[in-house]
């Protein structure tokens, strides 16, 4: 399972449609494909590693907490439930 994109609304102090994408949008060179990107499907690449940078109090920890919650939710449904979680894709998930 690969997480490609997260879009959050009303999560802590994040702005509306706060987005974290793991899919590069720019041109991909041969060197990028060899050293920095991982092909997960035909012509679909994700970053091998990513970093979160920013000034103090800019939301780095909040972004990591959001990713942690998403991974916890996906892991719970994947491991502890026989439900098909793919029916929830592209639907709103409220964390209130």
| 94 occurs within a structural domain | no
| pLDDT, tens only, 28-45 | 888 877 778 888 888 888
Would the pLDDT of 55 be above 90?
yes
Task: Give Cα 83 to chain centroid, integer Å.
Answer: 21
Residue 93 domain flag: no
Q: Kindly state whether residue 95 falls inside one of the protein's structural domains.
A: no
Question: Residue 62: how many CA atoms within 13 Å on its side-chain side?
Answer: 15
Count structural domains, the chain.
1
In a domain, 62, yes or no: yes
The DSSP output letter for 55 is: S
Residue 46 located in a structural domain: yes
| pTM: predicted TM-score of the whole model, two decimal places | 0.65
Strands 44-47 and 37-41: antiparallel
Q: Which domain holds residue 46?
A: 5-88
- On whether residue 25 sits in a domain, the answer given is yes
């Amino acid at each position: 399972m690969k997480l490609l994109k997260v879009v959050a609304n009303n999560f802590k102090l994040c702005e509306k449609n706060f987005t974290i994408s793991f899919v590069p949008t720019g041109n991909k060179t041969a060197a990028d494909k060899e050293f920095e990107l991982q092909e997960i499907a035909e012509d679909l690449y994700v970053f091998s590693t990513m970093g979160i940078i920013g000034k103090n109090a800019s939301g780095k920890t909040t972004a990591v907490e959001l990713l942690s919650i998403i991974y916890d939710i996906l892991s719970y449904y994947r491991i502890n439930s026989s439900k098909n979680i793919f029916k929830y894709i592209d639907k709103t998930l409220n964390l209130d």
